[in-house]
Amino acid sequence: MLALLAVLVGILHAARVSWVTDDAFISFRYAENLAGGHGLVYNAGERVEGYSNFLWTLWCAAGIALGVAPVRWSVLWGVICYAATLALLARFAASRGAARATAAGAAASFATAPGAAANGRAAAAALPLAAMLGAVDRDWAIFAASGLETALFTLLALAGYLLVLDSPGRPRRAAAAGLAFALAALTRPDGVLFSFIAGAYLLAVSPRRARDLAAFALPLALVLAPYAAWKLAYYGDLLPNTYYAKSADRAWYSQGIMYSGLFFRKYWVLPLGALLCAAAALTRRWPAAAAPGTGGGGAARWNRAAALAAAFALVYTLYVTRVGGDFMYARLLIPVTPFGLILAELAFERLVPARVAPRAAIATALAAGVALTPYPFRGQGWVHGIVNEWEFYAPRERERARDFGLRLREYFRGLPMRVAFCGGQAGLAYYSRAPLAIETATGLTDSTIAHQPLAGRGRVGHEKKTPIPYLIARGTHVWMYSSKLLADSLAPYIPIVPVQLDTLTVMAITWDPPVMDALRARGARMPDFLATLDRFLAVMPSLPDAQVREVYEKTRRFYFDHVRDPRREAPFRARLGLPPP
């Protein structure tokens, strides 16, 4: 009953905080292009692996092919994966409780002391502590319903753990574990870390190492080798473009320690559970039902479960710390959560008397503590570039962004639009269906931007800024953003020409008359650049050479390099002593 309640609470929790982060719309555009026959690409004709969640992107494409919008599909399946993970945690507790009950019953049949049978019944009462704590974990619920792959990745990692835990001497179970970890690696590349830990575990504890390791490695090889070959053939690289965009090859421990520290300050039950589990492992006191030699609930299995969960949690936390964490608070450490909760449950099992009342009281207190612990920062506050992303996506704002993106689709329909957008506008880029879109905050979907050398550390994951000359060279029509800072950045290169699309002001990067005329006919408001240029040409003979040269260079980048207009360009070149256009 408690297990079912934990799963239901988790589902309701995730449904209440459901949202879709802009990062998810990167994958949605890949999925939509795949379903539409353009291939697994962000921009048709450009093979750049700008996602890091291959399996999740394919699953979103399946939903689109079935006629389900990716927003609804991804949130639904994220919540399903979260609920399934809680169910697996509850099942783990139940299986240990059943083993303890069997052992206690065997002991009770030989016991003469009064109350032995009652102790056996108490041992049978399995309290799904990990599932209960997981159900009130706010950020796990938030990222389960975020449109991202986090919940699927966490589910596959836990499934692999549970399978490999009891796979020594059972090759079929080892093979199933290998398949689970292969799917985890397809969901996120860092899933291979779990495979290495699991392989080391089998090497250490399996009575028939060669057979079990071969069974474990076979599905990994059958799944990941063809995938790697396809990536090399299709994208030309084993590593995703996101790896380069986020400078994942550079260790940034100070930022990673900050990121992990903020997470564990709120979810203190995870390090506490690990410490208590380590303390429990050092004591020699075992309840009779869990004494060595009493079957599945015995000391050997407890030690294996604790050691493997600790290895999964520690190695993955160290990996997240090394890469500097993420700008989204908690997201990258959600996969650590079930393993930390398992350690807490194992410590609970070992240290708390096997009676229902004290266990229920402690479990309730822990769940309340996790739920009520405040965040280590307030609301939309930032700490070293780390932010509670969910706070920025109020339902009304999400609906407004969607509606405006659909309005942009009407502006752009049938036009060869090339737009630049910042990361927080990925939803606008998705809904607008601009044929070519360039993400400028990180270069996630553009290999030229992503492969720039790292000039210096900044906000984690947002350190590769897009060079303005690159956008100009690509013939980008508009940058879907406007500010004084952007205008100051553009001013040395091109004329400043704002374009008003309903309530959104964007900046023109190149002037393409047919496109601009079509936008104006659909309601866009903008200065008449060509009329302004003609007025300048009329007064140009009275202006100094330096000013003429500056205006010509900016106009050339903005207009003449993309449009043949000798009538307007020839006077500039004649004045500056340049050959005719």
Three-class secondary structure assignment of 549-567? HHHHHHHHHHHHCCCCCHH
* Termini Cα distance of the chain: 81
Indicate if the pLDDT at residue 352 is higher than 90: no
The least confident of 6-15, 387-396, 553-562 is 387-396
Q: Tell me, what amino acid is at 361?
A: A
pLDDT band at 400 (very low <50, low <70, confident <90, very high): confident
- Cα angle vertex 223, ends 217, 227, to 5°? 130
Q: Tell me, what amino acid is at 439?
A: E
pLDDT band at 413 (very low <50, low <70, confident <90, very high): very high
* H-only helix segments in 235-355: 241-245, 253-266, 269-282, 299-322, 337-351
Q: Give, in order, the Cα–Cα distances in Å from 333 to each of 100, 248, 266, 268, 423.
A: 32, 16, 12, 13, 21
DSSP state of 433: T
Task: Give residue for tokens 């023109």.
Answer: 508
| 245 and 442 Cβ atoms separated by less than 8 Å | yes
Q: Give, in order, the Cα–Cα distances in Å from 500 to each of 255, 428, 519.
A: 39, 15, 10
pLDDT band at 49 (very low <50, low <70, confident <90, very high): very high
**Averaged pLDDT for residues 287-307:** 65
Q: Residue 465: its pLDDT value, please?
A: 85
pLDDT for 76-125, tens place per residue? Answer: 999 999 999 999 999 999 988 766 655 555 444 444 444 444 444 444 45
Q: Tell me, what amino acid is at 125?
A: A
Q: Tell me, what amino acid is at 428?
A: L
How far is Cα 132 from Cα 136, in angstroms, rounded to an integer?
7
**Domain locations in the chain?**
2-107+118-386, 395-527, 531-575
Quote the distance between the C-alpha of residue 459 and its chain's center: 16
pLDDT band at 380 (very low <50, low <70, confident <90, very high): low
How far is Cα 140 from Cα 154, in angstroms, rounded to an integer?
10
| 489 and 537 Cβ atoms separated by less than 8 Å | no
Percent of the chain with pLDDT over 90: 78
Please choose, from the candidates 553, 581, 548, 535, the residue with its C-alpha nearest in 3D space to the C-alpha of residue 495. Answer: 553
Greatest mean pLDDT among 91-105, 357-371, 391-405, 514-528: 514-528
Phi, psi of 157 (to 5 degrees): -65, -45
pLDDT for 228-268, tens place per residue? Answer: 999 999 999 999 999 999 888 889 999 999 999 999 999 99
Q: Residue 115: its pLDDT value, please?
A: 46
Partnered with residue 386 across adjacent β-strands are 383
For residue 506, the surrounding DSSP H or E stretch is: strand 504-508
How far is Cα 338 from Cα 137, in angstroms, rounded to an integer?
11
The answer to pTM > 0.85 is yes
Mean residue pLDDT of the chain comes to: 91
Query: CA-CA-CA-CA torsion for 111, 112, 113, 118, nearest 10 degrees?
Result: 50
pLDDT band at 378 (very low <50, low <70, confident <90, very high): confident
Q: Which comes out higher in pLDDT, residue 246 or 32?
A: 32
